[in-house]
Chain A
Amino acid sequence: MAQIGSDRPERQIMDAQEIQRSLSRIAHEILERNRGVDDLVLVGIHTRGVILSQRLGENIQRFEGSQAPLAELDINLYRDDLQARENPRVRPTKFPVDVQGKRVVLVDDVLFTGRTVRAALDALSDLGRPKQVQLAILVDRGHRELPIRADYVGKNVPTSLDEEVKVRLTETDRNEDVIIVKLGREIK
């Protein structure tokens, strides 16, 4: 288990205000690219993607005066590494609207290897056939292992593989920021 000790170097790369500004810009970009909210669905990937999708939804409501439906996607049943995972949990996938023919914006906190997004695409296609799928990410940290890129990026952050990017949001964590933690030797 990763524990943040006082001796472990960590540095902040986004504060609360920067997160807010990024989400506000991404909301504008989503509206611009899709020319409004028609047929749009914001799909958050559990857990923090769901929170970010809710915040994007609030921004879109504020800017546009109309709401895009929100959905929640759990990708644990689509992972390619179940064999290596201890005690995985599954959370409910919630789709208030039919995904068929919709413009789906997948929302997650960090884009890293691309495997989570790959799993999310599989999960989506089991639910129906969206017209288009776009990807919104708060932090792109590089090191892709699959041919996947984001359409909307809060911040591009070069990282090394022995670092971990943590997005902390008030809904799930005590803080509201993005930090990079140097991994200790006890963490795989």
Chain B
Amino acid sequence: MTTPDAMALGGEAGEVTLAAPTGSRRNVLDLDDFTADEITSVLDDTGAMVEVLGRDIKKVPTLRGRVVVTMFYESSTRTRISFEEAGKVLSADVINMSSSGSSVDKGESLLNTGLTLQAMGVDVVVVRYPHSGAPYLLARHLPQVSVINAGDGLHAHPTQALLDLYTMRERLGTLLGAKVVIVGDVLHSRVARSNLWGLTKMGANVVLSGPTTLMPLDLLSGRDELEEDHPFAQVDVDTDLDRAIEGADVVMALRLQSERQQGGFLPSLREYIRRWQVTDARMARAKSGALVMHPGPMNEGVEISTALAHGESSVIEEQVTNGVAVRMALLYRLCAGRGSRMAQAG
């Protein structure tokens, strides 16, 4: 399920909202089933969590006795550590599971691993998986567990999008009407995809820029088939970055995955750098004080110049700090009300 046209945008996986019977949220799978109000309330809670992270003693007791398991079937540093820190600051017990050295090595399926964790009384499972849709599978079959998608294939990375939204809102004051330019390999970016949902729901104007071969196909052909409220229907594409960047409030560079060049998506790395690297010179065309963002890990000197990545307009490190707070807000929200939900489920 990793071909671009099977990315489950509004497809079958997108329709599985799996909301708890009481109407409160049980899972965080993507931002497509969040309303603007719910996103706003998560971002507000995130602000309160930032205060906790700024204390001398970063520890509050709220999730004492809750168990959070991170299951990462793909490499990750910041997302996994960030979830681990978020859980620990809230006093949850956090257990990290990686695919190597676990029963996955013996061929256990994702679902059976999930069922095992559920039987152990785990409250929240944070899952990263190379195939799109895997967290939905877990959510569908584990009624007593809350599932958070920490990145599935090319599909979604909702917690990254929420931390991006929070960072932008903190700096700009509001997302409404903000011009956000997302540059680079949108086609293979779950970060971009979740951001598209979040940004359009919050009323931002999104422009995608990059080589035609790396733009999502839905945008370049068959746009008429999209329903009006689909986020892709409201998004502009401009392959000329110098033009796209004009008047931008935020420029978000995406990681260029090196294997893409072998895949024939790029004529040459040098051409990519010349036309689409986000640089100081290009940022001069954006609004003054415009933000530079990157979901990490960065290829400095490829999609973003080193000077810019560590320059004044860069909020890349702030994104990482805010990532912990956003994940605290989500863990808190999912664990609240679990008592009554479990009573109903059981």
A137 to chain B: closest CB distance in Å? 24
Q: Check A92/B336 contact, CB under 8 A, given A76-B62, A87-B24, A122-B61.
A: no
Q: Check A86/B22 contact, CB under 8 A, given A122-B61, A126-B55, A126-B60.
A: yes
Alpha-carbon distance A117/B59, docked complex (angstroms): 19
Q: Cβ of B73 < 8 Å from any Cβ of A?
A: no
Considering only CB atoms, which chain B residue lies closest to A91 in the complex?
A: B48
Q: Cβ of A182 < 8 Å from any Cβ of B?
A: no
Interface size class of chain B, counting residues whose CB lies under 8 Å from the partner chain: 20 to 34
Considering only CB atoms, which chain B residue lies closest to A93 in the complex?
A: B51
Complex contact B336–A87 (CB within 8 A): yes
Q: Cβ of A83 < 8 Å from any Cβ of B?
A: yes
A64-80 with Cβ < 8 A to chain B: 74, 76-79
Q: Cβ of B124 < 8 Å from any Cβ of A?
A: no
**What 0/1 readout, one digit per residue, does chain A (68-109) give for beta carbons within 8 Å of chain B?**
000000101111001111111111111000000000000000
Complex contact A90–B45 (CB within 8 A): yes
Alpha-carbon distance A99/B50, docked complex (angstroms): 19
User: Interface majority SS on B: helix, strand, loop or mixed?
Assistant: helix
User: Which of B48, B57, B90, B329 is close to A93, meaning CB atoms less than 8 Å apart?
Assistant: B48
Alpha-carbon distance A88/B90, docked complex (angstroms): 15
B49 to chain A: closest CB distance in Å? 7
**What 0/1 readout, one digit per residue, does chain B (199-242) give for beta carbons within 8 Å of chain A?**
00000000000000000000000000000000000000000000
Alpha-carbon distance A74/B44, docked complex (angstroms): 13
B339 / chain A contacts, CB cutoff of 8 Å: 83-84
Complex contact B337–A85 (CB within 8 A): yes
A88 / chain B contacts, CB cutoff of 8 Å: 332-333, 336-337
Complex contact B24–A86 (CB within 8 A): yes
**What 0/1 readout, one digit per residue, does chain A (19-39) give for beta carbons within 8 Å of chain B?**
000000000000000000000
Q: Cβ of B296 < 8 Å from any Cβ of A?
A: no
Considering only CB atoms, which chain B residue lies closest to A83 in the complex?
A: B339
Alpha-carbon distance A75/B346, docked complex (angstroms): 30
Q: Cβ of A121 < 8 Å from any Cβ of B?
A: no
Complex contact A90–B24 (CB within 8 A): no
Binding site for B on A (CB under 8 A): 74, 76-79, 82-94, 122-123, 126-127
